[in-house]
Amino acid sequence: MAVIWGPKITGKAGAMTEDDVVAFVIKNAGQGNKIWLGNVRKAAQYIANHNGAGGGSGLTFNGKMVFHTTEGAGTDHVAMFFTCANGNIASIIGIGRHANKTNETKYNLDWHTPGWVVTRQIEW
């Protein structure tokens, strides 16, 4: 299992809980409906259970492979991009959604970490 490292609700950095991840996503990408919130929680669980393999996107950040998960469907889905060093420490680096239904590898980002040099729309 990976520890998701980032800003907590308390304002300090540390191991994020599911609630910390939800607050982080809302602060940076905006808030959706209850179904969307449930999908954000599922994405947080996926990341926390990641072992550093599978779900790779073909993108990199600081020399690390970028992984992703998409939870939900339609207008209520969320895609989260993250790194997961050795399956131990995960960092969320992008939040968005699929750009369209015909290309499953094209995403519109609502937020990405400033150090990740990408455009608002990414594809691999």
Average pLDDT, the chain: 92
Rounded-to-integer distance, Cα 60 and Cα 82, Å: 10
> What is the per-residue pLDDT for 57?
85
Write out pLDDT tens, residues 21-68: 999 999 999 999 999 999 999 999 999 999 988 778 889 999 999 999
Q: Note the pTM of the prediction, 2 decimals.
A: 0.93
**Token pair for residue 122?**
């990414």
Question: Is the model more confident about 75 or about 78?
Answer: 78
Helix 34-48 with 18-29: angle, nearest 10 deg: 120
Q: Percent of the chain having pLDDT more than 70?
A: 98
**Token pair for residue 2?**
């990976």
Is residue 102 over pLDDT 80? no
Q: What does the pLDDT average to over 1-8?
A: 94
**CB-based contact 66:59 (threshold 8 Å):** yes
> What is the per-residue pLDDT for 2?
92
Q: Percent of the chain having pLDDT more than 90?
A: 74
